Amino acid sequence: MHSLTFTKGHGTRNDFVIVLDREDMHDPSPDEVRAVCDRRAGIGGDGLLRAVKAGRIAEWDGDPDLWFMDYRNADGSVAEMCGNGVRVFARYLADNGLADGPVIPIATRSGVREATLLPDRRVRVDVGTVTVEPGAVKVTAAGLDQAVPATKVDVGNPHAVAFVDDPAVLDLTRPPVWEPAEAFPAGVNCEFVRIVGERHVEMRVFERGVGETLSCGTGTVAVAAAAAEREGVAERPVTYRVDVPGGTVEVELAGGDGVEQAFLTGPAVIVGHGEFTLPEG
């Protein structure tokens, strides 16, 4: 029987179980991740963040002394990046004396992401490059009368951003469907967005490998980039307020011509610590 010492945290209620595994002694199986993230029989979370020294990660060829954020979706699948997760991961490292602030570089499958601890306890993350991609895509979700156009956006992971009249009417207990299917062969995060006002949007999101979540960090970045293109906003830098069911974040875009450098600022809250016994088998 194996037990995990864990920490639980969230960023705008996008919640994660964090496990310290400095020397990569226990790479969790998909079944174990699902057990940990189960909201009735486990700890509960949208994903698991494993803190490993980067030099222990076989595919990492950068600085071996960085902390690597090994992110797994709640269904056990591996993900490249998570904007809310990076903020919570940085807060965890700082609060536990594992990294010095205020700037903490974090290794991810999408490269190094720098997190800055702010005096108000929020965390600002350099999310890296966000690219609005060409190509016509449509998405369908329960509650929509018909398929709607969506913007393809790459934030180190794939997104389809659809602007709708009212995201609240959608039933996201069922996964959206996109066409053409080959546009996202590895799946996609689908965001449904309403323009609230100038540089202000609200969204709901269905995350691949998880389902609907109360927030998605890279999703908020994708939405801001898509909104700036849709509205023809040319000045840079520009900051968007993005409201999600779990709260509010700020996305700053710098760059232009379809390729942006993005910065995500929002809360990162540690809510508890404990020990979890993995079920046998």
Q: For residues 62 and 15, is the Cβ–Cβ distance under 8 A?
A: no
Q: Which of 19, 43, 82, 107 is catalytic?
A: 82
Q: For residues 220 and 237, is the Cβ–Cβ distance under 8 A?
A: no
Tell me the backbone φ, ψ of residue 25, rounded to 5 degrees. Answer: -85, -20
Task: Report the residue count for the chain.
Answer: 281
Please name which of 119, 126, 83 lies closest in space to residue 101, comparing C-alpha atoms. 119
Tell me the backbone φ, ψ of residue 141, rounded to 5 degrees. Answer: -140, 155
- Does 212 count as an annotated binding residue? no
- Does 13 count as an annotated binding residue? no
- Does 45 count as an annotated binding residue? no
How buried is 101 (Cβ within 10 angstroms: 0-12 exposed, 13-18 middle, 19+ buried)? middle
- Does 59 count as an annotated binding residue? no
Is 216 one of the catalytic residues?
yes
Q: Which of 69, 74, 216, 249 is catalytic?
A: 216
Is 190 one of the catalytic residues?
no
What is the β-pairing status of strands 148-154 and 122-140? antiparallel
Give the separation between CA 256 and CA 87, rounded to whole angstroms.
Answer: 25
- Does 96 count as an annotated binding residue? no
How buried is 28 (Cβ within 10 angstroms: 0-12 exposed, 13-18 middle, 19+ buried)? buried
Binding site for substrate: residue ranges?
A: 14, 73, 83-84, 157, 189, 207-208, 217-218
Binding site: residue ranges?
A: 14, 73, 83-84, 157, 189, 207-208, 217-218
Report the catalytic residues: 82, 216
